[in-house]
Amino acid sequence: VNMYVCGITPYDEVHLGHARCYVVFDVIRRYLKYKGYTVKYIQNFTDIDDKIINRSLEAKIPLNELAQKYIDDYFTQMRKLNIQDADVYPRVTQKIPDIISFIKKIIDNGYGYVAAGDVYFSVRKFKDYGKLSKRNIDDLKIGARVLSEENKNDPLDFALWKKAKDGEPSWDSPWGKGRPGWHIECSAMSLGEFGGTFDIHGGGQDLIFPHHENEIAQSEATLGKPFVKYWIHNGFVTINKEKMSKSLGNFFTLREIFEKYDPMVVRYMLLTQHYRQPLDFSEDKLEQSKSAYQRIVNAVRKANGTKEDNLIEQKFVSCMDDDFNTPQALAV
C-alpha cells in the first residue's frame, strides 16, 4: 500500500488538531501492516509558504531556521505520541526541480498558461473538476482567500508558480524567478515518490477543497489516469463545537497538554471518536481516557492467549475492518 499524507507547514508549534491527523494515519498504517500489507508512507513538510515567510519576517529569523525549529518540535511531540516515522519526509525546498518539471508537463498538456511571470492552471479545461468535493464548477465563487488576480484568464484558475516578490525566497525557472504554488507541491512530491497512481491520500477535512481538489486536477491532467484510489480525511478537533485552529486562537499545543497528561492518554482520547467525525476536546474527556487507557494496559498484562482472548481479537478486527472504527474497537 502506498500512502501519502499532507504534512505540516512548520511555522508554529504542533497542536491537538495536528495530533489527531497523524495519530489517525499512524493507526491506519499499523493496522494495514497487521493485516499483512507492506506500507510505504510518505509525509511532506511544506517548508515554503506565505505563513512561514510572514512569521520569518516578524521574528527576524531566517526562513530555513524557523522551519527547522518547528520540524524538530513536530518530531519531538509525535514521538511522545508513539507515532512511527514516515518512510520519507520530502520538503518542498528540496524538490523545486521536480516541481518545475511537473508544471512544464501541465503546460505542455494544455492545462497551464503563463501570465506575467505567474503560471496558472486552467480549471475549466479539467472536466472532472469538483468530483472530490462534490461541487459544481458553475456554482463556485471566488472565496475571501482566493483573490482574483488580474492576470488570470478565469477567476477560478489557481497558481502553479508565483512570480518572485521582493524579500521572498525564489528560484530560477523557465518563467522567471519565483516559487511554487501550494497545490502543485504535494502532487509533485507524491508522484515523485510513487511514480504514478497510488493507493491512499490523506489529510484533514479542511484540505478537501481547494487543496485536494486542485491536486486531482493538476495530477490527472498530467497522468491522464486516476491520481489516487482512496481519499481519507479526518474530522476536526473542536472546542465548544468550534474548530480548533491557530487563526481562531483556541488551540492547545501538544507541549502544553503533555505537561499535564501522559501522551498515550492523549493518543487514546484522539481515537475515541470515529476518524471522520469531529472530536470535541475537554479536560473531562482526557480524565475519562486516563481511566480507560489504564484498563487496557491492565488487560494486556493479564492476556495469555486463551480462547477468550482470540474472540476479543476477532471482535477487534471486525470493528477495524469497518472503516477503521477505533471507538468500537477500543470498546471491545
Question: pLDDT, tens digit, for every residue of 231-278?
Answer: 999 999 999 888 887 778 788 899 999 999 999 999 999 999 999 999
The tens digit of pLDDT for each residue in 141-171 reads 655 345 556 689 999 999 999 999 998 999 9
3-state secondary structure of 267: helix
Q: How far apart are CA 23 and CA 9, in angstroms?
A: 17
3-state secondary structure of 191: helix
pLDDT of 246 reads 72
pLDDT of 286 reads 95
The tens digit of pLDDT for each residue in 172-190 reads 999 999 999 999 999 999 9
Residue 138 amino acid letter: D
List, for the chain, all residue ranges whose pLDDT scores fall below the cut of 70. Answer: 141-150
For the entire predicted model, the pTM comes to 0.94
pLDDT of 241 reads 82
- For domain 2-234, the CATH superfamily is HUPs (3.40.50.620)
For the chain, the domains span 2-234
pLDDT of 215 reads 99
Cell numbers that stand for 10 in this block: 512548520
pLDDT of 148 reads 53
CB 278, CB 236: distance < 8 Å: yes
Q: How far apart are CA 8 and CA 332, in angstroms?
A: 33
**Cis peptide bond prior to 210, omega within 30° of 0:** yes
Closest CA to 326 of 8, 74, 30: 30
Q: Which residues pair with 15 in a beta bridge?
A: 253
Burial 77-103 (b: 16+ CB within 10 A, else e): bbebbebeebeebbbbbebbebbbebb
